Structure 1
Amino acid sequence: MIRTLVILAAGLTLTACATTASTTNANAGADPVPMPEPQPCAAEAYQVLVGQPVGGVHTDSLPRPHRVYGPGDAVTMDYRPDRLNIVVGEDGSIIEVKCG
């Protein structure tokens, strides 16, 4: 009885290994799917906003993703080349438009 259980356990173990190996080998020849590169933001097109009051900017018309922030605002430090950043100065006018 114990002998039969040992043989059965060994057979199941080998079957599991064979299935895993064949799945791994089937995917080994395939090229990995590359991640799409983020498109750079359109900061050049929005440079006309520099010097204008931030109240005159319609944020609904800005490309996504975007953020508008000023001095003292909490912002993340992650760099996203597809994100448009509009930086507002102390006087409420736009001082910089950049990607990131």
Structure 2
Amino acid sequence: MKASSILVLAAAAALVLVLAHEAEVSMAASAVTCKPTELNPCIGAITSGARPSPLCCTKMKQQSPCFCQYIKNPDYKKIVTSPNAKKVVTACGVSIPKC
């Protein structure tokens, strides 16, 4: 097989993987109900900077597809972007998206 054919096949395989991942993310995001009150177990950690509880981290991971929506809302922006919130998000292994 020619090198160019191998490159085309590799590019096609990579594209399939990317599209499959995006479809998976879209399905996961559509299954989430964006309710900031779901992050109530994190309020203590966000306000004090304390280590988040396992329940808080579970809720952060569940609500992470909603972060852009929260960031765009002035009433909820601090839930995700305050310095302590960033510590909680990082401690939970969640990333804040670029919105």
Which structure's residues are more often helix, by fraction?
2
> Given the two structures, how large is their TM-score scaled by the length of structure 2?
0.30
> Given the two structures, how large is their TM-score scaled by the length of structure 1?
0.30
